[in-house]
Amino acid sequence: MTEKEIFIEKLRKRTRTFAVDVINFCDSLKKCKASSVVTYQLIKSASSTGANYRAACRGRSKAEFFSKICIVVEDADESEYWLELIDEAQLSNKTDELARLLKETGEITKIMGKAKNSTYKSN
């Protein structure tokens, strides 16, 4: 495997682990109407981050990769938004896990944003 292939595989696993961690975290949220709405949106965006990254990696062209990676950036950023909302609305008592997930989604957003920008510049 090349360095690039190893990096891609690690990122695929990282985005999948992020989605699983978000699913597990959402089970710990306070039970109320707001948390059920936020949970739905957060799980949707977190799982979509990984799913669309996988699709981007299978892109048949640079344009297709770029299109999918743009969606990945949006989904990762949206996940960060929902996590921030959970924090500000105090829907979780697991502050350490919330902080870790916020850090992780921030890092994923930066990595994917850099991939998006480098793909755009090479066109």
Question: What pLDDT, in 10s, does the model give residues 57-97?
Answer: 998 999 999 999 999 999 999 999 999 999 999 999 999 99
Residue 46, pLDDT above cutoff 60: yes
pLDDT recorded at residue 119: 80
Instruction: Report the number of distinct structural domains present in the chain.
Output: 1
pLDDT recorded at residue 4: 87
Residue 41's Cβ-count burial label (10 Å; 0-12, 13-18, 19+) is middle
Question: What pLDDT, in 10s, does the model give residues 110-119?
Answer: 999 999 988 8
pLDDT recorded at residue 111: 95
Q: What's the pTM value of the predicted model, to 2 decimals?
A: 0.92
User: Residue 71 sits in a domain of what CATH number?
Assistant: 1.20.1440.60
> CA dihedral in degrees (12, 15, 18, 24; nearest 10)?
-70
Residue 45, pLDDT above cutoff 90: yes
Average pLDDT over the chain reads: 94
Which residue range is the domain that position 53 belongs to?
3-121
pLDDT recorded at residue 28: 94
